[in-house]
Structure 1
């Protein structure tokens, strides 16, 4: 029924899963810390260059193109290739 080889194999699998889970969580924690550090450095630069204003990017509402139906940001839209596209002018 239970042999020593099966028990050892089960222990090996459990150990591999345990250490793999710890490694996965550690990689995630390091990545989150790097992201926080990058945001701190980025917000420090933009706050000092913009005179202490908000360090967040302004959101822009999307508008539906009347010609092709795609939603685009009006300030940064490019032409869709159709002759009457309002953003190609």
Structure 2
């Protein structure tokens, strides 16, 4: 089992430290899929990191998806990116 698999398993079991580590690693890797999975699982920290990473990568579709779900921060970031 890889370190990531172990972290995912621990996170699924409710280990907040594992969730935090997954968020940090996913942010460093620019892994929108991992961040989306964690955010969809209810992690506000993952949602914040997802918005930050999507903004850095210029992932407008991801920001649109989040904004469409009512995320104000994503909507604001999208507005800023599309103004430029």
Task: Determine if the TM-score, normalized by the shorter chain, exceeds 0.5.
Answer: no
Structure of greater Rg: 1
Q: TM-score, normalised by structure 1?
A: 0.21
- Identify the structure with bigger relative contact order (alpha carbons < 8 Å, sequence gap 6+): 2
Q: TM-score, normalised by structure 2?
A: 0.22
Q: Of Structure 1 and Structure 2, which has the larger fraction of its residues in helix?
A: 2
